[in-house]
Chains A and B, each alone.
Chain A
Amino acid sequence: MAGFYGTKNKTMDRHVLLRDVDVPDIREYDVYVANGGYEAWKKALTTMKPDEVTAVVKDSGLRGRGGAGFPTGVKWSFIPKDVFPKYVVVNGDESEAGTFKDHQIIDGNPHQLIEGVALCAYAVQAKTSYIYLRGEFYEPAKTLQKAIDEAYAHGMLGKNVLGSGFDIDMYIHMGAGAYICGEETALLSSLEGQLGQPRLRPPFPAVQGLYAKPTVINNVETLANVPPIVLNGAQWYRQYGTEKSPGTKIFCVSGRVKRPGNYELPLGKYTVRELIEMAGGIIDGRPVKGVLPAGSSAPILPASALDTKLDYESVQAAGSILGSASFVILDDTVDIVWAARKMVRFFKHESCGKCTPCREGTYWALKLYDKILSGRGTLEDVNMIGEVAAQMSGKCFCLLGEFATSPMQSTLKHFRAEYEAFIANHQGGKMNGYTDELIREGVIAGPDGVIARH
């Protein structure tokens, strides 16, 4: 499935991460090696001390690509030196709506991920690493397992790699369909065979992570950045991106654009508007209504923010979060109330149930949206949505609860008029364009009076 949604893009003549776009067979070991693969690993094992690897990554300014954007080298330096065993855990849960970048790395360029994981393990002196993939990644997992097997067969993994005395083992663990398992502490619980529910922090995973041992958790894309950084140095990496957001980043573009796909771009160089243009512009040339910069978990940006630059600081200044950079583009055909309900329904379904504000808040918020969508809503319900969100905000155990408030609060902030118009136009519980969907979901009874099970 070479480059099955990899996208050529004129702005990067040679990709740093999506190298399968330039070299279609780079998932094969020989092709990867012929294109400079495992050179960084050899360099580190033969010429660098573990701390020097951490230092290079720190100097490069690489920030976590899983959502929070925390500096990766700094995270590694928190791992205590004198506690054993330690673990490296790779977050490949990739469950955010509209995110499909890790999928392409795993499928198209798996050896670069393996090399990155190995370098991280060496830097923190962990002998065991786990790659946690979402349960649906059944096929990509096969590709990755094959690549891991090849790496073992060529002596890049296993005992005493390249005569350095360093041992490393790498395992894949499959999740089983739970968005919350992308949250790092829930992921650790899931890896231990438990319910995927978040844990209290502190202790942070760097101190007590997997099996209560020091653990680094990084996103797939984050670690795929490491081999080129170690090989070419921090200065080379900093030629891309801005002072505070160095490097390149994969932008997943989906929604109402002509050419959805992954676009790897230097951070901070282009604007949201230019990104939409790269993705072929809006279908039928319609106007943009809003943009979700990180799937459903980040506040919506209205069309007035289209000139925001694509880096962590600029998106934050515009009132949202760059996060995983999964841009879902909404045009004027998309009903904001419907879209907000979809996102709230997602969070209600994915709430792990551990804490009350999130579990109950998402439940009642969805009830309110259902009421509005079925044509029985009032302006009071709209206000109530805002109140539920305000009650949840800052009181949830983990960030999922916080994420759940963003579709409510941000759409109310920018598109309140749409809510009011929706209510004015849909009165008395009459059939409307959403009735079928609500029947299918079992929210309201069908024409035969039966409520569908789902």
Chain B
Amino acid sequence: MTNPLPPLGRAAGNGAATAKPDDRLVSDKRYKIIEATMRRYGYQGHGLIEALHSAQEAFGYLDDFTLMHIARTLHLPPSKVFGVATFYNLFTLKPQGAHTCVVCLGTACYIKGAREVLAAIEAEYDVKAGGTTRDNQLSLLTARCFGSCALAPVLTFDGETIGKVTPEAAAQQIAQRMMAIRQAA
């Protein structure tokens, strides 16, 4: 879409039309996957559930930014998109943990050992995929393809893509980043 995008967040105000397209839509290839789905349904509102599926598969969950992007592209009120996203059980909104790790279980990642990576993280943090650690620090999710298969197996930590992970190193890479963020704060 070439539409200029208004600023994000719940309080998108006036002056929206002059804002720049958001970097995330350009830099994050996953939005292309969602875009393709919406195009396939002619950018029509009745393709909303497909668009949400596609987003959830690409990101592992649906954050406000993505929901707003879908609402705008399909010309639907955000309330409707939010309503549908919360109605169905398979859709996960922004997880409750302070940090989010999404492990790709798509085909390319799977054959490169994504299962073992996931198992290693599950064991290290004592949390099952789909859950959040008891201290609410880390939510662990899975997705179907980030569109970064060349880097398989891939995971994302708070939106940052980490490729070619190994079961041995994955938990440590997550721990390092959590530590760095804590120290910065």
Chain A residues packing against B (C-beta within 8 Å):
135-136, 173-178, 190-196, 352, 450, 453
Contacts and interface: CB of A to CB of B under 8 A. Distances in A.
B138 to A, nearest CB: 14
B66 interface: no
25 contacts: A135-B53, A135-B90, A173-B49, A173-B50, A174-B49, A174-B50, A174-B53, A176-B52, A176-B53, A176-B90, A176-B91, A177-B88, A177-B89, A178-B87, A178-B89, A190-B49, A191-B46, A192-B46, A193-B45, A193-B47, A193-B48, A195-B83, A195-B84, A196-B88, A352-B87
Contacts of A196: 87-88
Nearest to A211: B46
- Per DSSP, are chain B's interface residues mostly helix, strand or loop, or mixed? helix
Size band of the interface chain B makes with A: 10 to 19
Contacts of A191: 46
A354 to B, nearest CB: 11
B132 A453 contact: yes
Given A176-B49, A192-B46, A193-B48, A453 B96 contact: yes
A131 to B, nearest CB: 14
B46 A193 contact: yes
Contacts of B49: 173-176, 190, 193
Interface in B76-116: 83-84, 87-91, 96
Nearest to B53: A174
A191 B96 CA distance: 30
A173 B49 CA distance: 9
Contact of B88 (A173, A178, A450, A453): A178
Interface of B: 45-50, 52-53, 83-84, 87-91, 96, 132, 134
Nearest to B132: A453
A352 B45 CA distance: 21
A452 to B, nearest CB: 8
A178 B53 CA distance: 14
A178 B47 CA distance: 17
A453 B139 CA distance: 13
Nearest to B74: A193
A190 B84 CA distance: 9
Contacts of B96: 453
B132 A177 contact: no
Given A174-B49, A453-B132, 19 more contacts: A135-B53, A173-B49, A174-B53, A176-B49, A176-B52, A176-B53, A176-B88, A177-B88, A177-B89, A178-B87, A178-B88, A178-B89, A193-B46, A193-B47, A193-B48, A194-B84, A195-B83, A195-B84, A453-B96
Contacts of B50: 173-174, 193
Contact of B87 (A192, A195, A450, A453): A195
Contacts of A176: 49, 52-53, 88-91
B54 to A, nearest CB: 10
Contacts of B46: 191-193
Nearest to A190: B49
Contacts of B91: 176-177
Contacts of B48: 193
A233 B88 CA distance: 42
Contacts of B134: 450
Most buried by B among A136, A191, A352, A453: A453
A53 B134 CA distance: 60
Contacts of A175: 49, 88
- Indicate the member of B50, B90, B91, B132 with the most A CB atoms within 10 Å: B90
A190 B89 CA distance: 13
A193 B84 contact: yes
Given A176-B52, A453-B96, A135 B88 contact: yes
A136 B91 CA distance: 12
A177 B90 contact: yes
A175 B50 CA distance: 9
A191 B84 CA distance: 12
Contacts of B52: 176
Contacts of B47: 193
